[in-house]
Structure 1
Amino acid sequence: MTQTFRFLLFLFLLSSEIVNAQSLLIGSVLDKEDNTAMIGVNIKVTSFRDSTRTMGGITDNSGNFSIKIPPRGRYNVVFKYIGYDAFTTQISVEGEEVNLGKVLLTQNANNLKTAIVEGKITPVTQKNDTTEFNARAFKVNSDASAEDLIKKMPGMTQENGTIKSQGEEVKKVLVDGREFFGDDASLALKSLPAEVVDKIQVFDRMSDQSRFTGFDDGNSQKTINILTKPGMSNGQFGKIYAGYGTDNKYESGLNLNYFKGTRRLSLLGMSNNVNQQNFSSQDLLGVFGNSGQRRGGRLGGQGGGQSADPSNFLIGQQSGINKTTSSGINYSDIWGKKVAINASYFFNYADNVYKNDLSRQYFVGDGESQTYDEITDNNTKNLNHRFAFRMEYTIDSSNSLIFNPKFNLQNAKLDNLLLGATAVAGVNISQNITKNNSDNQAMSGSSMLLWMHKMKKEGRTISFQVNNDLSVSNNDAYLNSLNTFRNQTQLINQNGETQNQGLTNGLNISYTEPLGKKTQLQISYAPSVNNNNSNKNTYNYDSATAKYY
């Protein structure tokens, strides 16, 4: 048993290492004639096994490049630059780093002659620390969303419902530099049609405090800024769709946008029973505080054949048949010249049914065998409400205020039935009937208040930030299990109650002082107080009183 456990642990650690590992493709690009560094050379990496799997990047101001690629496989690498012959090479990736050294590009003499010039759209450009994609260089269907468009761009991927750039998760989406649907990047991208997008900018956005002081505190977030096409600041656009098929399968939804000057209103919704899910990790955060196993014997076991990790309820991760209904609204405006606001609300409901039949046969030698049969029937219902608000108030040229509260409310009901039997030579030696029921409720809220002040001396600033975070979760679970082994019977009938509460209050005072044209000093004081309480009680059923004690 111990050896088996060690072997499984080894495989788990090995697979984790493989999943998380990434290799780097590095090198530099030079002009073959004068050996000077070439800036802005487009690099495209394509997998031999799957031509749709592409990565890419461009060279920096020193002609260097560094592209994250999967740790195993063969790839085709193409270097392109206007006025130069394309250079193609093949690589085999087996380690953490592939160094191509110096790549030399040769000027194309034909391009130097006087001729008819055909302009081509440059798909990617680098502007300081911002990578900018031209939407016109990527072809999508007429009904595509901004999310569909982004997945066509080199280095941009979607994994488990999250958008990633060069392997790093995109935390926030802006539209023309303004907040859109709070911190839900995927929801923001779903709500905008691709036809209104002009450019996609990807960069590391510093925190509010850092952008004000100019001093990077290391709390940057990978951010996408969608630049809309000229003329789109005033108009109405969107789509409504519905479909019905065999076996009573249906899918419907809407996506409507109203833009008028600085005022922007977006509404979206969907309802289906074809396993199209629309969760964010925030929709289930805190609900599954009690992890449970699919097989019986524990309180709080949850259905769906999954663990209690909220990420298992992201797009495409929940097994079984899912019915989903969700809707969201986002409002953004600038009041006067001093107040910018953004408010969003999101609702999500999902009903998951998961059934599974399992049959295994073990051969123990001498013609003997052992069989194990199992039937599971699970149902999970999840309900979520999420609200976010952000206000930026420019008091005057020296003072500004930001207020950013968020609130989440979640409820999940889980029902899990398991029937299992073990037999030797056709004779049952053990049976198990386990039923888990649980009602999970969770609430979380946070607020951030930031006041920033610029003093007369350029670069001298002071800011005060107050953070508050509250989380409360309650779980009421019932376990009823009947286990029979040969002539022995064990009955477990229990009720478990779990309450968790956490409160964090924090303060961040930051002062910056310029010490020269290129040097700046920052002094910060950031105390915080954490208060966490957890209470878990388990009660056994008393048949005499029909109560749990």
Structure 2
Amino acid sequence: MNKLLLFFLFIICLNHASAQQESQLKGKVVDTLGKAPLSNAVISLLHKKDSTLSNYTRSGKDGSFSLPHIAKGQYIVMVTFPKFADYVEVVNVQGQAVDMGAIALTQKATLLKEVVIQSGRAIRIKGDTTEFTADSFHVKEGATVEDLLKEFPGFQVDSKGQITAHGQRVQKVLVDGEEFFGDDPTMATQNISAKAVDKVQVFDTKTDQENLTGLGGNSQSKTVNIKLKENSKKGAFGKINVGSDFQKYHDGKALYNRFVGKKKVSVYGTKSTLNTGSLNWEENQKLGIESDFEYDEVNGYYYSIGSGDDFNDWSLRGLPDSYTAGALFSNKWNEDKYGVNGSYRYNRLSTRNQASTLTQTILSSGLLYKNDYVQSNGLNQQHAINGKYEWKLDSLASFKFTTAGIYKTSQGFNHTNSYTQNENHQYLNQNNQGRENETERKQLDNQLTYKQLFKKKNRQLFMTLRFGLVEDDNKGTLNSVFSKYDAAGNFLADSITDQKKLFTGSSRTIGTKITFSEPLTPKLNLVVDYSYNNNNSASNQASYNDAGNSKYEILDSLYSNNFNLDVSSQSTMGVLRYVGKKTRFALGSGLSALQLNLDDQYKDKKTTYHFLNFTPQASYNYQLKQQSRFSVDYRGTTRQPNMNQLQPLRDNNDQTNVFIGNPDLKVGFNHRFSSSYSSYKVLTGTSFYINGSYGFTQNDISNASIIDASGRRTYTPVNVNGNNFWNVYSYWHYGQGEKKLIHEIGFDANGGRNISFVNKEKGINDRAYYNLRYSIRYEVKDKFNFSMGPHAGYNTSRSSLRQVDNNYFNYGGSADGYVMLPGKIELTSNVYANLRQKIDAFDSNPNIITWNGNLSRKIFKDKSGKFIFVANDILNQNKGFNRYFSENTVREDRYQRVSRYFLLKFEWSFNKMPTGK
């Protein structure tokens, strides 16, 4: 009896222990709109580690469900119901009952192609927008948005902060839909904490009007929008970095952001001898606080000298010494009826550089080699102001005014020593030249937009008014000695130039555009627009020779110009746009007429040009499944010659290359076809993406060159047929989560054909580039991670003028690692290798392997401080190098870059927000 009693007690204890190891999962499935219960919904429970099914059930009449006897572990809960989007969520069962509460499902018809996924790799796809949920991607403590972006499938971030998404360059970064310091996008990606981010959206760069038509836009560039968590918009956060080697190099940065309700204030400053301090990637031609300034056909007709962007790391050549500072203010009030956003930036950058350019020119009669050696110094400064004001009259009407102003000055000096040789290495010419320049530019762009919605769905009206001003004032000197040699390499004669150059220019642009959308059916819209643009400009360049008394008083009319130009255009477009549950398409065409009135005051000659432009466009998108999409697009665009090709400014800055305009150029027409496919599988974290494009141009504009016996090249633009281009980009990504191998395989290729004429012979150049890459990543949270990505590529270039073997392989890749050492010391290392096969054009073979590393330790109780020992370019191989193929030439550029240094750095981040400390 006692034994039987003990046996029953043992069974009871065993059941109790077992019950402690198991748990129950319950919840209720409802409609997200009416909150009505959904009965017979399928609730599946899958093991997270391998996605195998553990259990399943259906919801009752009241929408409730219960899954009993669940062992400890991580699971994926999937809820499905007909005509509703799937719901997926990761749950962690720890021996206690888990109540998921009300699970709201959204009808697919309501989503309009939207896919809602909540998982370890949360992704939402809505039309052309892909949205990533930040908390679903693990990053280490103290990570920034830039670190977060590196975790997204199809994203790459290079050492300069340049972002590539799905093979396309990200040219704009927004924070909650607003610019963050104008055109300095990495001010956001490198300084905002990943923990403050709710979602990250990526989409094609388009204006409001282009979104309305479903056509146009820059399909080759992406925009990233960082959406902050609501509780991250309260309080303040910032960062201070200070580093030095106590001799040559130093680097410092401070950033402060404060949120008070919807009011935001940000300030920053930098001082560096390692980079430009300003973090923008390329010139923002419209300077706008938003990139929605409408394109118009009159752009490109104002003569300008020295108006490029000199404040970005992407184009930096030489050794920098920089200062930057900026401030930003934004606010919305009265229930978002009013909104303002403004920023100011100051940049100061001085550089010194030693560079060389080696060029091989392919002729049917032989090869020419040109060598340029340049020493240069420059100082560039600018003040930039951006502003935006929004006013919502009511729920249907709103105004938006944007303005952008810039004042830029630059001073520069360069000394160039160049010579040209034939393939027997006999001299044909030699040029010794010195140039000094001082430039000043003032520019202002303004845009006023009116948006009117109507009670009838999808009926919309956009009206835009643009006004822009530019003033240029430049002066400089040119001193050169150009020497000629005969076929045997014997000296013949010198040509000496000693000139002072003055340039003044002004431009005024005004334009308007009206776009109207009218719904023909619930799914079909007609969109029409009309625009008018006018530009009036004046350009005066005067070259003066030395009168013999060191006074430059003799006007050289050959290299002087005085032009007045009036350009006006009118254009219209009509588009039919269809939006269905799975299918979207748009079909339309535009027509524009352009007139140029050119007044050459030196020659007392007036010329009028007329161009008619035709722009048919079509787009088709199909949602194959909830997580996969296919699209195909066609765009036809007219390519009209610019002012410099029709009537160029005569320029003797490079006496080995003389450019002559062609007033008889015809308008070209470009055809571009593109297609893409994307898919994502939530359970395995697998994604696949591929896009490709092909285009050709009728009456394309190329060059016809005459190269004389001394190696001097005179070239002029001409129309040709047969030019084309193509490109392909794809990637496959597999894996998700911690302690899992994550793989990515990518392939990209591009190429095309260029036709030109050299010494009256037709030259056909075919080029192609193929690149295959593979990457693997593994991470153990806060302990270590590593990633490596080898790649191999092959370049081909073939000219019909002469068979020259300039094909070559390039290999390389990157390896990154992080490990937590004893004493809470963190070690990180990065190696990037670029190995190129030597080509026949040049003797050298510039292989570059850069290895960077640092040791760091966090300090303070909240770990907000960090000491870092930085080792940059440990192998001392960081050299500037680029290789180019164009028409019948091959060129290699070499220039200085910041190479090996060792730095002691202190970093302090503070976060006085609900999500921080």
Instruction: Work out whether residues 279 and 348 of structure 1, in 8 Å CA contact, stay in contact via their aligned partners in 2.
Output: no
Deviation, 1:139, is 4.6
Change (3 A) 1:164 1:456: same
TM-score in terms of structure 2 length? 0.41
Partner of 2:446: 447
Q: Within 1, Cα distance between the matches of 2:284 and 2:208?
A: 27
Partner of 1:405: 403
Partner of 1:494: 499
> 152-161 or 111-120, which moves further after superposition?
111-120
> 339-348 or 351-360, which moves further after superposition?
351-360
Change (3 A) 1:241 1:111: farther
Instruction: Work out whether residues 320 and 351 of structure 2, in 8 Å CA contact, stay in contact via their aligned partners in 1.
Output: yes
Q: Within 1, Cα distance between the matches of 2:205 and 2:268?
A: 27
Give, as a single letter, the amino acid of the residue that structure 2 aligns with 1:502: S
Instruction: Work out whether residues 281 and 314 of structure 1, in 8 Å CA contact, stay in contact via their aligned partners in 2.
Output: yes
Deviation, 1:282, is 6.4
Change (3 A) 1:358 1:465: closer
Give, as a single letter, the amino acid of the residue that structure 2 aligns with 1:415: F
Larger strand fraction of residues: 2
Change (3 A) 1:151 1:317: farther
Deviation, 1:259, is 1.0
Partner of 1:6: none
Equivalent residues in 2 for 1:259-338, closer than 5 Å: 259-275=259-275, 277-280=277-280, 310=308, 314-337=312-335, 338=337
Q: Is residue 2:521 matched to residue 1:523?
A: no
Instruction: Work out whether residues 281 and 313 of structure 2, in 8 Å CA contact, stay in contact via their aligned partners in 1.
Output: no
Q: Within 1, Cα distance between the matches of 2:518 and 2:374?
A: 64
Partner of 1:349: 348
The number of residues matched between the two structures is 420
* Secondary structure, aligned partner of 1:136: helix
Q: Within 2, Cα distance between the matches of 1:283 and 1:520?
A: 36
Give, as a single letter, the amino acid of the residue that structure 2 aligns with 1:116: K
Instruction: Work out whether residues 358 and 372 of structure 2, in 8 Å CA contact, stay in contact via their aligned partners in 1.
Output: yes
Change (3 A) 1:472 1:169: farther
Q: Within 1, Cα distance between the matches of 2:210 and 2:461?
A: 11
Partner of 2:913: none
Instruction: Work out whether residues 161 and 280 of structure 1, in 8 Å CA contact, stay in contact via their aligned partners in 2.
Output: no
Deviation by residue 1:66-124 (Cα, 9 ceiling, x = unmatched)? xxxxxxxxxxxxxxxx95999xxxxxxxxxxxxxxxxxxx9735688954341555224
Partner of 2:149: 150
Instruction: Work out whether residues 544 and 552 of structure 2, in 8 Å CA contact, stay in contact via their aligned partners in 1.
Output: no
Deviation by residue 1:28-60 (Cα, 9 ceiling, x = unmatched)? xxxxxxxxxxxxxxxxxxxxxxxxxxxxxxxxx
Q: Within 2, Cα distance between the matches of 1:430 and 1:466?
A: 53
Q: Within 2, Cα distance between the matches of 1:421 and 1:454?
A: 65
Partner of 1:257: 257
2:74 pairs with 118, 121, 124, which one?
118
Q: Within 1, Cα distance between the matches of 2:51 and 2:249?
A: 58
Partner of 2:52: 108
Q: Is residue 2:132 matched to residue 1:176?
A: no
* Secondary structure, aligned partner of 1:247: coil
Instruction: Work out whether residues 161 and 315 of structure 1, in 8 Å CA contact, stay in contact via their aligned partners in 2.
Output: no
Change (3 A) 1:484 1:175: closer
Deviation, 1:385, is 1.7
Deviation, 1:144, is 4.0
Change (3 A) 1:437 1:459: same
Q: Is residue 2:326 matched to residue 1:382?
A: no
Q: Within 2, Cα distance between the matches of 1:416 and 1:151?
A: 40
Partner of 1:468: 467
Over aligned residue pairs, what C-alpha RMSD do you find?
4.1
Partner of 1:195: 195
Deviation by residue 1:210-231 (Cα, 9 ceiling, x = unmatched)? 67xx554634783322222342
TM-score in terms of structure 1 length? 0.66
Partner of 1:10: none
Deviation, 1:342, is 0.9
Q: Within 1, Cα distance between the matches of 2:130 and 2:197?
A: 16
Give, as a single letter, the amino acid of the residue that structure 1 aligns with 2:525: Q
Change (3 A) 1:141 1:497: farther
Deviation, 1:168, is 2.8
Instruction: Work out whether residues 286 and 443 of structure 1, in 8 Å CA contact, stay in contact via their aligned partners in 2.
Output: no
Q: Within 2, Cα distance between the matches of 1:332 and 1:479?
A: 47
Q: Within 2, Cα distance between the matches of 1:458 and 1:229?
A: 31
Deviation, 1:356, is 4.8
Change (3 A) 1:446 1:374: closer
Deviation by residue 1:438-478 (Cα, 9 ceiling, x = unmatched)? 11222222111112233444443433211123333333221
Point out where structure 2 has 5 or more consecutive residues left out of the alignment.
1-44, 57-68, 76-89, 91-118, 288-304, 360-368, 485-490, 555-917
Q: Within 2, Cα distance between the matches of 1:398 and 1:313?
A: 41
Point out where structure 1 has 5 or more consecutive residues left out of the alignment.
1-81, 87-105, 288-301, 303-307, 361-370
Instruction: Work out whether residues 180 and 342 of structure 1, in 8 Å CA contact, stay in contact via their aligned partners in 2.
Output: no
Change (3 A) 1:142 1:532: farther
Deviation by residue 1:131-181 (Cα, 9 ceiling, x = unmatched)? 222333445454443234323422223467643321333344332344433
Deviation, 1:539, is 1.7
Q: Within 2, Cα distance between the matches of 1:547 and 1:205?
A: 49
Change (3 A) 1:357 1:281: closer
Give, as a single letter, the amino acid of the residue that structure 2 aligns with 1:519: L
Larger helix fraction of residues: 1
Q: Within 1, Cα distance between the matches of 2:168 and 2:204?
A: 10
Instruction: Work out whether residues 256 and 266 of structure 1, in 8 Å CA contact, stay in contact via their aligned partners in 2.
Output: yes
Equivalent residues in 2 for 1:86-97, closer than 5 Å: none
Change (3 A) 1:176 1:430: closer
Give, as a single letter, the amino acid of the residue that structure 1 aligns with 2:324: S
Instruction: Work out whether residues 445 and 471 of structure 1, in 8 Å CA contact, stay in contact via their aligned partners in 2.
Output: yes
Deviation, 1:483, is 4.5
* Secondary structure, aligned partner of 1:170: strand
Q: Within 2, Cα distance between the matches of 1:203 and 1:154?
A: 15
* Secondary structure, aligned partner of 1:396: coil
* Secondary structure, aligned partner of 2:153: coil
Q: Within 1, Cα distance between the matches of 2:456 and 2:168?
A: 38
Deviation by residue 1:332-387 (Cα, 9 ceiling, x = unmatched)? 11132310111111111111011358999xxxxxxxxxx99986421011112221
Deviation by residue 1:406-450 (Cα, 9 ceiling, x = unmatched)? 112222211012356899xxx999875421101122222211111
* Secondary structure, aligned partner of 2:148: helix
Q: Within 1, Cα distance between the matches of 2:132 and 2:469?
A: 39
* Secondary structure, aligned partner of 2:247: helix
Give, as a single letter, the amino acid of the residue that structure 2 aligns with 1:403: F
* Secondary structure, aligned partner of 2:72: coil
Deviation, 1:404, is 0.9
Deviation by residue 1:9-44 (Cα, 9 ceiling, x = unmatched)? xxxxxxxxxxxxxxxxxxxxxxxxxxxxxxxxxxxx
Instruction: Work out whether residues 283 and 384 of structure 1, in 8 Å CA contact, stay in contact via their aligned partners in 2.
Output: no
Give, as a single letter, the amino acid of the residue that structure 2 aligns with 1:317: S
Change (3 A) 1:535 1:281: farther
Q: Within 1, Cα distance between the matches of 2:205 and 2:374?
A: 47
Instruction: Work out whether residues 283 and 386 of structure 1, in 8 Å CA contact, stay in contact via their aligned partners in 2.
Output: no
Give, as a single letter, the amino acid of the residue that structure 2 aligns with 1:275: N
Give, as a single letter, the amino acid of the residue that structure 2 aligns with 1:388: N
* Secondary structure, aligned partner of 1:248: coil
Give the greater-gyration-radius structure (CA).
2
* Secondary structure, aligned partner of 1:118: strand
Instruction: Work out whether residues 278 and 311 of structure 2, in 8 Å CA contact, stay in contact via their aligned partners in 1.
Output: no
1:534 pairs with 525, 529, 539, which one?
539
Q: Within 2, Cα distance between the matches of 1:266 and 1:389?
A: 14
Q: Within 1, Cα distance between the matches of 2:458 and 2:419?
A: 73
Instruction: Work out whether residues 281 and 310 of structure 1, in 8 Å CA contact, stay in contact via their aligned partners in 2.
Output: no
